[in-house]
Amino acid sequence: MSRTPPEPQAADPVVEHVTMQTVLAPLDEPPTLVALGIGVHGPAGQVEVFSLPDLWQFHLYGYDADLTVDGTAHAIRPGRVSLVPPGTEVRYRYRGRSEHVYAHLRLGTAGAPCSIPVIQPAGHALDLLTAQLHQALAAWPNTPAWATAEVWAALWRIARLTPPREQSTRAVHPAVAAATALIEARLTEPVTVPEIAKAAGVSHNHLTRLFRAATGETVVGYIRTRRMERARHFLQATTLSIPAVAASVGIPDLQAFNKACRRELGASPRGIRTAGPAPHHGVAQ
C-alpha cells in the first residue's frame, strides 16, 4: 500500500534579528523631561517586563541584575548607565531590592543622532553623572528647566563615554579634542604649540599632523582664526571698548590687534563694529 508522502511544511520565515547593542539618540536640542525619580524594584517580584511606548528610559544603576532589551541580554552592574528607546520591551531580573535613578523623556529630532550603547559603564564619569542626576532630582519638579539641563548634560556625557566604531573614521582624535579645549580656555593669554602638545599628551610634530588632518589648519592658524572669530563677535555684539576686546582675545597691543583685524577680517576694529553683524544664515561663522 503506497503512502502519499506528507507535504513538506513551510519553514518558519527567517527573521534577521539585529541585536540591540546601541541606539541612535538625537541630542542637539533639550529633551522633554516627563518623569524623574528613584525607582525601587525587587520586593514586588524578581522579574518585570514592560515598555514605555512613547518615552526614552535613562537609568543609572547601583546594583547587580540582568536586563534584556528587545531580546538582547545585558548585565547590570553598579555604576552602569542604560538608554532605551521608546516602544522597546525590557525585561529585568532582580536579585533583591534594587534602586536606580531613572529619567523618562522625549528626545527631539534636530541634528545627527549620536550612537550610544544601550548599557555601558560610566567609568571615570560616574561621580559627575551621579552628581548631575541628583541635581536634577533636587530640581524636579519645581524647577523643570534646571532638571532638564542636568539630564541633557548627562545624556551628552554618556554619548561621549564610548566613541562609536562606525564613526571612528570621522571621530576627532582625543589629542585634537584636548588641544582645541585648551585653546578655547586660553584664547586670552599667550600659549605655544609645545605647551598644547604636552597637555594633549603627544609630540609637537604629531599634534601638528593630527591637527592639520582634522581641521585643515596648523595649530597656530587655528588659534589665530578662533581669536579673530571671538574678536568679531565682541566688536559686533557688545559695547566693550576696543582695548578690552583686544585683551580678551590675547592681543593687548592695539597696533598688533588693528593689523590682525585688517589682515584676517578685512577691516579695522572700528570698521568691523560700525558694519554691524553679518546676516545670519543658520551657519556658525
CA distances from 32 to 54, 82, 129, 179, 186 (A): 12, 18, 19, 33, 35
Residue 278 confidence class, pLDDT cut points 50, 70, 90: low
Look at the domain 22-156 and name its fold.
Jelly Rolls (2.60.120)
CA distance 231 to 259: 13
CB of 84 within 8 A of CB of 23? yes
Arithmetic mean of pLDDT, 175-203: 90
pLDDT exceeds cutoff 50 at 8:
no
How sure is the predictor about 14, in pLDDT bands with cuts at 50, 70 and 90? Answer: very low
Distance in angstroms (rounded) separating the CA atoms of residues 170 and 214: 9
- Tell me the helix, strand and coil percentages in the chain, rounded to 5: 40, 20, 40
Alpha helices (runs of H) in the chain, residue ranges in sequence order: 126-139, 144-159, 174-185, 193-200, 204-215, 219-237, 242-248, 254-265, 269-275
DSSP 241: -
Query: Is the pLDDT assigned to residue 84 strictly greater than 50?
Result: yes
Q: What is the DSSP string of 167-192?
A: GTTTSPPHHHHHHHHHHHHTTTS---
Q: What is the mean pLDDT of the chain?
A: 85
Verdict on whether the full-model pTM lies above 0.75: no
| Assigned CATH for 174-275 | 1.10.10.60
d(CA 176, CA 213): 10
Q: How many CA atoms lie within 13 A of 137 on its CB side?
A: 15
Per-residue model confidence (pLDDT) at position 44: 67
Q: Region 119-139: what's the mean pLDDT?
A: 94
pLDDT score of 203 more than 90? yes
pLDDT for 9: 44
Distance from C-alpha of 198 to C-alpha of 220, rounded to nearest angstrom:
15
Instruction: Report d(CA 142, CA 275) in Å as an integer.
Output: 44
Can you give the pLDDT at residue 130?
A: 95
Is 285's pLDDT higher than 50? Answer: no
Percent of the chain with pLDDT over 90: 59
- Tens of pLDDT, residue by residue over 244-267, are 999 989 999 999 999 999 999 999
pLDDT of residue 169: 43
pLDDT confidence of 222, banded at 50, 70, 90? very high
Residue 125 has pLDDT above 80, yes or no: yes
As a whole number of Å, the end-to-end CA separation of the chain is 88
| pLDDT tier at 34, thresholds 50, 70, 90 | very high
pLDDT at 276: 67
Summarize pLDDT for 49-60 with one digit per residue, the tens: 989 999 999 999
pLDDT given at position 86: 94
Q: Is the pLDDT of residue 108 over 80?
A: yes
**Residue % of the chain over a pLDDT of 70:** 85
Question: CA torsion sign, 233 to 236 to 237 to 241?
Answer: positive
* 125 contact partners, CB below 8 Å, separation of at least 6: 157, 158, 161
Average pLDDT of span 105-134: 92
Q: Where are the domains of the chain?
A: 22-156, 174-275
